[in-house]
Amino acid sequence: MTETPALYASHVRPYMAAQRAAGRLNWVFNIIEGLKEASDVIYRTPYGQDPEEGFLLLPDLNWDRTTLDALHLLGLVERRDLWSLRDLKKKHVPWLRHMRDKFLDATTRVYPGIERDQLKLYVHYQPTYYHLHIHIVHVALEAGATQATGKAVGLEGIISQLETMAGDDEAGMEGATLCYTLGEASDLWVDVFEPLKRSAACQSP
């Protein structure tokens, strides 16, 4: 899919808002608040102490929690104003660098057999849920679907793109054209892109 800024603003952003309003993120918020899956969390900052600093780490469901060169963690940020990479702006660059360092420090603290330069960080677009979360993986992890081109976007690349954007600190990823893949069973495809495709076909001469 090619998602232009106009398409994002008119169709995708309202879809995201509807997902959040329908309670689709309650399970994520329960984890962040320590109400659910507390035993799965391997590191966290004190909840509520500083929402912009707060985060937690937990293993990805597909990692066996043993093989370090296949390490795959999720970093959930406590703040709730960032739904996806689309919400990131130039003003967030210092925060992104700071959170990157906190994730790397926490991961190497929990797993002292891993060095910082053996880790890479990325986000998905489209993500599976609309609360900003960072994937932290070992560089030796075989690139499967979760790291596929057109889905995984490197955090360093996002930071560089934001830094070089024209405009003031409010310029950001909502103004970029993004390309990604969607399965036909995806809710976003079914609810947004398939109806748009049908509409375009009906309007074609």
Q: Which residues are catalytic?
A: 133
Output Rg (C-alpha) for the chain, integer angstroms.
Answer: 18
What does the alpha-carbon distance between residue 74 and residue 68 come to, in Å, rounded to a whole number? 15
Q: How many CB atoms lie within 10 A of CB 118?
A: 17
Distances (CA, A) of 40 to 32, 99, 159: 12, 21, 29
Backbone φ, ψ for residue 52 (5° rounding): -80, -20
What does the alpha-carbon distance between residue 22 and residue 15 come to, in Å, rounded to a whole number? 11
What does the alpha-carbon distance between residue 126 and residue 181 come to, in Å, rounded to a whole number? 8
Angle, CA of 75, 24 and 159, to the nearest 5°: 35
Tokens read off for 48: 């509520």
